[in-house]
Amino acid sequence: MPPDFTPLRTARLILRPLALEDAAPLHRLVNDWEVAKTLARVPFPYPRELADEWIASTWVQMAEGEAWHLAIEAAGTLVGCVGLTLDRPGGGQPGGPPGGKGAELGYWVGRPSWGQGLAPEAAGALSRWAIESLGLSTIHASALRDNLRSQAVLRRIGLQPAGEAMQPFLSRGGPMPVLLFRGGKAELQAAVPPKPVVLVAAVALIDPDGRILLAQRPPGKPMAGLWEFPGGKVDPGETPERALIRELKEELDIDVTEACLGPFTFASHAYEKFHLLMPLYLCRRWGGQVRGMEGQTLAWVRPQKLAEYPMPPADVPLVAMLRDFL
């Protein structure tokens, strides 16, 4: 049965253990000369029964901690495979590290999914996971000398040229010239593009009874159903205070002045696609009646009850600070 492995998730992909039902689509995708000719250990033609045997072998290798061969799934569909095989001590793998613990990276993506950047997304995610989770010092890989696309993928995820070699290719019936690539944690991390920083201002509105206002994110928005402090994104050229004054009028139909906004603390949180920086203000005075202008549900909550309301990850650490302060 498939091993116990928590799937890795990227912006578009799920990297998970292969399942028996993957055999048919795997065979269809890899039994393609344009795919098979780039893979050292894949025969061509690729027998259908070999897909079942290979999937079962990946379970054994993963259970024994020798290799991690995973399905690349996009939008619920198998599009390829990515894998890491630990180096054997003294094995002398081409491109392997002279010392330390290393692994060989391999991957392929079926022709229908070419040109979408899925290979570097999958290969980079698995490599970074392995460096952190398996304590590897080096990831290495090879690409045919004339396979410019694969060479570009390896460079894109941070691996650096490490020489040339001759490598046996089952699909081609003999050894072929390959370029070698190698990299460690620093190289892999340097290749990850920095996330954009998004500045959002939020406020804890406090009524005369000491309760704090929370607003529930409406259906159709990211993190719908979670509760948050009112506020919003700071526009270019706008100060956080001016952004709050604008947002509170638009969202709650109340008037606030800068003098009534007291800086309290801030949240700094890395989401999948961006890094959120959110200053939190306190406000006890405003003009007008608080009402949800965008159909959002509102709740006045006592500080000791805030933890009972599910919130976005960035808001959660602010709860204890508010509770202790108020």
Q: Which pLDDT belongs to residue 97?
A: 46
Q: Which pLDDT belongs to residue 99?
A: 52
Percentage of the chain with pLDDT > 70? Answer: 97
Residue 213: helix, strand or coil by DSSP? strand
pTM of the predicted model as reported, rounded to 2 decimal places = 0.66
Domains, in order of start, for the chain: 8-190 (3.40.630.30), 197-325 (3.90.79.10)
**What average pLDDT does the segment 213-240 reach?**
93
Q: Which pLDDT belongs to residue 89?
A: 73
Asked whether the CA dihedral 76, 31, 24, 72 is positive or negative, the reply is negative
Q: Are 292 and 251 in contact (CB under 8 A)?
A: yes
Helix (H) or strand (E) holding 246: helix 240-252
* Confidence check: pLDDT of 163 > 90: yes
Q: CA-to-CA distance for 217 and 228, rounded, in angstroms?
A: 7
Q: CA-to-CA distance for 108 and 127, rounded, in angstroms?
A: 15
* pLDDT tens, position by position, 95-138: 544 556 899 999 999 999 999 999 999 999 999 999 999 989 99
Higher confidence at residue 166 or residue 2? 166
Average pLDDT, the chain: 93
Q: Which residues contact 318 (CB under 8 A, 6 or more apart)?
A: 204, 229, 265, 267, 280
Residue 32: helix, strand or coil by DSSP? coil
* Confidence check: pLDDT of 166 > 80: yes
**What average pLDDT does the segment 288-311 reach?**
94
**What average pLDDT does the segment 47-69 reach?**
96
Q: Are 216 and 293 in contact (CB under 8 A)?
A: no
Residue 63: helix, strand or coil by DSSP? helix
- Count H helices, E strands: the chain? 8, 15
* pLDDT tens, position by position, 252-299: 999 999 999 999 999 999 887 889 999 999 999 999 999 999 889 999
For 118-163, the DSSP string reads: HHHHHHHHHHHHHHHHS--SEEEEEEETT-HHHHHHHHHTT-EEEE
Confidence of residue 207 (pLDDT cuts 50, 70, 90): very high
Asked whether the CA dihedral 36, 39, 43, 48 is positive or negative, the reply is negative
**What average pLDDT does the segment 297-309 reach?**
95
85-to-66, 200, 270 alpha-carbon distances in Å: 6, 43, 30
Q: Which pLDDT belongs to residue 100?
A: 61
- Both tokens assigned to 140: 């290495």
